[in-house]
Structure 1
C-alpha cells in the first residue's frame, strides 16, 4: 500500500483542489473546467465529487494558460499540448528514437 509521502512524490497524485490549482496556475476555475471540456485532461474527483488535480495536470494547465494568453485558441492550445506531451512520453519510453544528434546533422 502506498504511503502518504510516496503519493505526494507522485506527479499524477490528485493533491490539489480546484481553488488551489487555479491559484498555482494563475488561471480561473472556469478556465480549468474549460480545459477539461476541451479534453486536455480529466480532473480526478474526490468522494464528494469535487475536482482534484495532479502536478502533471497543473503543468498542462499552466502551459495552456500561457498559450491562450499569447492568442492561441483554447482548443488548438490543448491539441498542441496533448501532442507535445505524447511525444515527450514516447521519447522517454524509447531512447532509440531521440531527435537526431548534432553530429549526425553535420
Structure 2
C-alpha cells in the first residue's frame, strides 16, 4: 500500500507514516502548487491512495469521473494534532480496511466509505 499526501496533509504525519515503513509521496515535497486534477492524475497513474483534508475530491470522483483505483481518504477533522492523521491511517491499515475504489471519509465520530 502506498499513499499520495496532498499538500494540506501535515508533514509530521507524512514522517510518522514513513517511520512505519509506509510509502508516502508528498505533494508538498515534490509537486508544490499543482491542481487537484493533477494530484488525481498522479494517484491514478502510480496507483496511490490519496490522503487529503480537501473536500473537493468527492466532487472530482463523483461528478468528474476521476477515480483512482487505490481510493481517496478525506480527513474531515478540523481540530487535530499534526500526527493525528497518520495515527488514524496506521490504525486503519492495522485493521486491514480496504480503500480500493472508495472515498473514505473520516470525521470526529465516524469512518464512512462510498464505493465508486
> TM over 0.5, yes or no?
no
Q: TM-score, normalised by structure 1?
A: 0.33
Higher helix share: 1
Q: Which has the larger radius of gyration?
A: 1
TM-score, normalised via structure 2 length: 0.32
